[in-house]
Chain A
Amino acid sequence: MPNSTPSNVTNDDIIIIENCSKSFGEVVALSDINLRIRRGEVCFIFGPSGGGKSTLLRCINHLETIDSGRIVVDGIQLTEAKETIDQVRAEVGMVFQLFHLFPHLKVLENITLAQRVVRGRSKEEATEVALALLDRVGIPEKADVFPNQLSGGQMQRVAIARALAMNPRIMLFDEPTSALDAEMIQEVLDVMLDLAREGITMVVVSHEMGFAKAAADRMVFLSEGKIVEIGITSELFNNPKEARTKEFLDQILT
């Protein structure tokens, strides 16, 4: 039976967040966050808008700098030093709500560029990896088109392939389906479900409770910069301990 506070398995915690706080001027986005994510875990983060979900994800790969506290990713402590930041980013793939594909590059080049300039792979090797990934996300025929010729769902699948091409140990998803039309959400969730089955560590910010039920090991309810509740998916769904969690779940599930 997995424990909801897994402090006894420290050596297998791939992300360690300790006492982290972050403010933007007057606005407190994160206050004293403690969270440990185990290797291979799928961690689902949800909560009201402005609760700090994006900020938390962005701190994990240092797109935001924390004001205080400590973040260790796969044994590497995040500090201001450029090398450690680049080291961590290479281990962590990120998928954004608005995809952020590179519009001036074809789909294939979107996926090969970082492999070549960051990982130093040859053009042939990078292309091979990219084509295999496009196949995996179900759009092998789109290699030679520009992103603006894709549907939203296809764009997000390319963005996932682009991140996976770096062989990350961790994937961060920031509301990957929120900008999609209803009929495209499932195709992206299917790709994510596949990933979850393969055992890659995933931190997913989303409102897709169906995905959480199907794939998440634990769920984190984040509100006003604080972790209100954290628990095993089935337990948190069926009997949330905090009134606020229950209220939010009731709202979202009806």
Chain B
Amino acid sequence: MAVTTEVERKRPGMLPWVGDLSRLPWWIVVVAIVGGAAIFAIVTNRHWEAAYEFTKTGIRFTIILSITSFAIALVIGLLAGLGQLSSNMVFRNLSMLYVQVIRGIPIIVQLYFVAFVITPVAINLLNDLGGNMRLLIPLAGLGGALSRIHIRDIDMLYRAIAALTIAYGAFEAEVFRAGIESIQRGQMEAARSLGMSHLQAMRYIILPQAIRVVLPPLGNDFISMLKDSSLASILAIRELTHVGQLHRARTFRSWESLGVVAILYLVLTLSLSFLVKRMERRLAFAK
């Protein structure tokens, strides 16, 4: 009996001579060593230090972009997710259309599209509307303001936030839909049989349970958003990737510039994924 357990205990490592060392999370050790080396380089080497000092200014925009876009995407995603499950044929089809179309277009194309097609078209429409409103005395003030908006005035940051929001709204819609569908049908029926309306059942019974299901995937999607915010560099927003590129172009120090960019992303994403794992474990216990 004792012999078999001994054999089984060693099997996962496949390398009997390493013994219990095979159980260590070696990847974390590697990350720690690389991280330590990077900190050491930044402290002792002036090229690394310069790259770090210049690039770290991008963190702010990366975080602004990710948090703002993700927060709005959550709202849109919840609406579109509910819409996909709605018995109202118009809501359902609009939501489906949005989710399927947006998920089928690369985010980088969406960024270009929102920045250079949708924004100008929308501004032109507002200008026209303002021009017409100016003819109506009571609306003259507002009309004047609308007709004076210039495409230039719309900061690239806003265009990037709009594009990322639209893209991620579609992903989150699917997360919410799946979360709601994972709640047993009996829950809705029990709520309805007590006289609750569909809306009340959603609010008090289905959504509170669905939230627990969707929190971990939402956390993972936020990590993806953090990485995808780097795409906004194509709109010359001074987020991490763009700033790193600027430094590289200026100093020709590719290794240092891109190394610092990669490590800063890793610091953000790995700490977030650590939090998501903890949340997953806590929610699992709560069940």
Residues of A within 8 A of B (CB): 61, 63, 82, 86, 89-90, 92-94, 96, 98, 100-104, 113-114, 117-119, 148, 159, 162-163, 166
Contacts and interface: CB of A to CB of B under 8 A. Distances in A.
Contacts of A166: 194-195
Contacts of B187: 100, 102
B194 A162 contact: yes
B208 A100 contact: no
Tell me the interface secondary structure of chain B in the complex.
helix
Contact of A90 (B190, B195, B208): B195
A86 B212 CA distance: 29
Interface string B194-233: 1111001000110011001000000000000000000000
Given A96-B186, A104-B208, A61 B193 contact: yes
Interface residues of B, number: 19
Contacts of B195: 86, 89-90, 114, 118-119, 166
A205 to B, nearest CB: 15
B204 A96 contact: no
A82 B212 CA distance: 30
Contacts, number: 58
Contacts of A103: 209, 287
A89 B189 contact: no
A166 B193 CA distance: 10
B193 A92 contact: yes
A90 B205 CA distance: 17
Interface of B: 184, 186-187, 189-197, 200, 204-205, 208-209, 212, 287
B193 A104 contact: no
A85 to B, nearest CB: 9
Given A100-B190, A102-B205, 5 more contacts: A82-B197, A93-B193, A102-B190, A118-B194, A163-B194
Among B187, B194, B212, chain A packs the most CB atoms within 10 A around the CB of: B194
A209 to B, nearest CB: 26
B212 A96 contact: no
Contacts of A82: 197
28 contacts: A63-B189, A63-B193, A86-B195, A89-B192, A89-B195, A90-B195, A92-B193, A98-B186, A100-B184, A100-B190, A102-B190, A102-B191, A102-B205, A103-B287, A104-B208, A104-B209, A114-B191, A114-B196, A117-B196, A118-B194, A118-B200, A119-B195, A148-B287, A159-B190, A162-B194, A163-B193, A163-B194, A166-B195
